[in-house]
Amino acid sequence: MVGHEDLQEPVLKELRQYFKASKKENKINFLLNIVTLNKYNGKSFNVNDSHLHGCLLAEVLLSFHKVKTLTACLEALQAPDIVKLAKNKCGSHVLQAAFRSSTLEDSVKEKLISSFEDDWGSLISDVYGSHVFESIWECSLFTVKRRQDLMKKLVPIQSDSKFWKFAMLRCDMYLFRKDRKAWVEKMKKSVKGAKQ
């Protein structure tokens, strides 16, 4: 389906109909209706209603070229709901797909990232949130400078979580503390490798 752009629009139209988001006034409910398989009431999001099949469908839709409606949905999400999704076993897949998406605007990704700015520690220490963190870390927005700025925020945080420890190994916290210059060089290579 990703290679068949001409089929994406009719599929999205049918899905918007099925997921009670066919009208202009309810289109921002599309994503949460998919994620919850139509259990979302349009007012308050209960992350426990997230369903694996709905989240996997949302993940596929985020790889489409036509993401206008999903963009509006992601922009409408409130920071607490984004954090809840990130720490949910099913919902975390949706955010990971958003950060991997080549068609989603950088401004939308920035909005999602801003939800975690005040509490990176709890995101990274969470079993599912740690995967979202890895997607953010690998995201094209995370230049070496941005990674370095984030690492400065993470240095004082102490956590016994094994997920935190794995993430800090991946970010090479040890080298960051020991030799910043070597860390920067290592990150330059990894960022270049990711963009190729």
Report the residue count for the chain: 196
Q: Determine the pLDDT at residue 85.
A: 97
Indicate the angle between helix axes 162-171 and 144-154, nearest 10 degrees: 140
CA 35, distance to chain mean position in Å, is 14
Q: Is the pLDDT of residue 196 over 50?
A: no
DSSP letters spanning 82-138:
HHHHHTSTTHHHHHHHHHH-SSS-HHHHHHHHHTTTT-HHHHHHSTTHHHHHHHHHH
Taking each continuous run of H as one helix and of E as one strand, the counts in the chain are 13, 0
Q: Is the pLDDT of residue 3 over 70?
A: no
**The dihedral formed by the CA atoms of 47, 126, 143 and 60, expressed in degrees to the nearest 10:** -40
Go through the domains of the chain in sequence order and give each one's CATH number. 5-140 (1.25.10.10), 143-196 (no CATH)
Residue appearing with tokens 């994620």 = 35
Q: Are 1 and 60 in contact (CB under 8 A)?
A: yes
Q: Is the pLDDT of residue 120 over 90?
A: yes
C-alpha to C-alpha distance for 115 and 164, rounded to whole angstroms: 18
End-to-end CA distance of the chain: 24
C-alpha to C-alpha distance for 75 and 43, rounded to whole angstroms: 16
pLDDT (average), residues 77-86? 96
Q: What residue type is 34 in one-letter code?
A: I
Residue appearing with tokens 């202009």 = 24
CA 149, distance to chain mean position in Å, is 19
Residue pLDDT, tens place only, 135-160:
999 998 999 999 999 999 999 998 99
Residue appearing with tokens 């066919």 = 22
Indicate the angle between helix axes 79-86 and 91-100, nearest 10 degrees: 100
Name the pTM for this structure. Answer: 0.91
In a 10 Å sphere around its CB, with 0-12 CB exposed, 13-18 middle and 19+ buried, how is residue 130 labelled? Answer: buried
Residue pLDDT, tens place only, 38-80:
999 889 999 999 999 999 999 999 999 999 999 999 999 999 9
Residue appearing with tokens 């979202």 = 132
**Lowest model confidence (mean pLDDT) among 1-10, 17-26, 173-182:** 1-10
